[in-house]
Amino acid sequence: MFNTRFKVRLKFEKLKTLDISWIMLMLITLANALVAETADKSLFITAVICFSIAFKGRRIMDYFMELNHANKTIQLFMRGYFYVFPLLIFLADLFSEPLAAITAL
């Protein structure tokens, strides 16, 4: 009896987390689309978008991919990818001229 109730509670908990994650990801995507249609180019907008990429990536990895309970090395590399690339997007925007200079042939 206790075991069954425990299982049902855990199932509800799981479904709730997944549902909330899905709704959050859809809303962030909608906000991104709004930015694409209305906002002008600025470093602040770039920073917000980079943050949204990092957040969406982490949410998918932790709750859909279930990496928050997985092997630590895989966690490290996957989470690292979604910290490094949003940061690189921002830095490439911030230092576009030096980047063009050092990559000129």
- Exposed, middle or buried, 86 (CB in 10 Å: 0-12/13-18/19+)? buried
Contacts of 87 (CB under 8 A, 6+ apart): 50
Q: Which is nearer to another protein, 1 or 3 (CB)?
A: 3
Question: Nearest approach, Cβ of 1 to another protein (angstroms)?
Answer: 14
What residues line the site for another protein (CB under 8 A)? 3, 6-7, 10-11, 13-15, 18, 21-22, 25-26, 29-30, 32-33, 35-37, 41, 45-46, 49, 52-53, 56-57, 60-61, 63-67, 69-72, 74, 77, 81-82, 85, 88-89, 92-93, 96-97, 99-100, 103-104
**How many CB atoms are located within 10 Å of the residue 57 CB?**
18
